[in-house]
Amino acid sequence: MINSAEFVIRCNLPPLSDGYEKHVGTKTDLVTANPTIFFKKFESLVGRRRPLMEKLSSYGNSMVLLPAFSFGMNTAVCMRALYTIQDFQSAIQPVFFNPEYLYKLSLFWRSHGLKEARLSTGVIMTSLALELCDNVHLYGFWPFSVHPYSFKNLTNHYYDDLKPNTNFHSMPVEFQILLQLHKQGVLRLHLGECKPYDY
């Protein structure tokens, strides 16, 4: 289902190999890169940069969204990512968010009851998709540690159990808003079991 979509957005450089592709597909048109990932997984890009390029190669010639101007602390590491992509002559295309857009988006969601310190990447990308796409389908937005149907334990992401920073984000509140949009037919939340495609 994901691979058949006209435009696929993925959040925070998720893995698309090692068996995951059977469940999440591989098509990617836009992938986000949270600066926290650059800090924690790629040593702020002050040393070796090839590991980042190997990671980005799995997304082909998609766009990578760098939030260089969202917060001052993100600018330097996002610019290092941009220069790395340019230096390695990668097929991936770096793009930036307009900080004015992020500010107005935050004000919009705040006026609709989302009072968290920072919007999650998921809500930001859902907002962008709702502005640009006729049909929006969301996968992986279940914010709880127990499956909604089988009640088995779940990790936070399909590939790791790194928890969100609750000082900044309130995933259950975000989910409540997304669920309301689902009920209104504005978007479609997919919460069922993954059904791998047989190759």
pLDDT digits 0-9 by tens, 119-139: 999 999 999 999 999 999 999
Percent of the chain with pLDDT over 90: 70
Q: Is residue 1 part of a domain?
A: no
Residues 8-45: pLDDT tens digits?
999 999 999 999 999 999 999 999 998 989 999 999 99
Q: Is residue 82 part of a domain?
A: yes
- The stretch 176-192 carries a mean pLDDT of 94
Residue 23 annotated in active site: no
When divided into structural domains, the chain yields a total of: 1
Contact predicate 44/38, CB 8 Å? yes
Residues 34-84: pLDDT tens digits?
898 999 999 999 999 999 999 999 999 999 999 999 888 899 999 999 999
Q: Is residue 4 part of a domain?
A: no
Q: Which residues are CB-neighbours of 143 under 8 A, at least 6 positions away?
A: 164, 171, 172, 174, 175
Joined tokens for residue 45: 């890009």
Q: Is residue 111 part of a domain?
A: yes
Q: Is residue 195 part of a domain?
A: no
Distance of CA 10 to the CA centre of its chain: 5
pLDDT score for 195: 62
Joined tokens for residue 73: 């602390």
pLDDT at 199 over 50: no
Domain range for residue 80?
9-190
Q: Is residue 2 part of a domain?
A: no
Q: Which of 147, 169, 182, 190 is catalytic?
A: 169
The CATH number of whichever domain residue 159 belongs to comes to: 3.90.1480.20
pLDDT at 114 over 80: yes
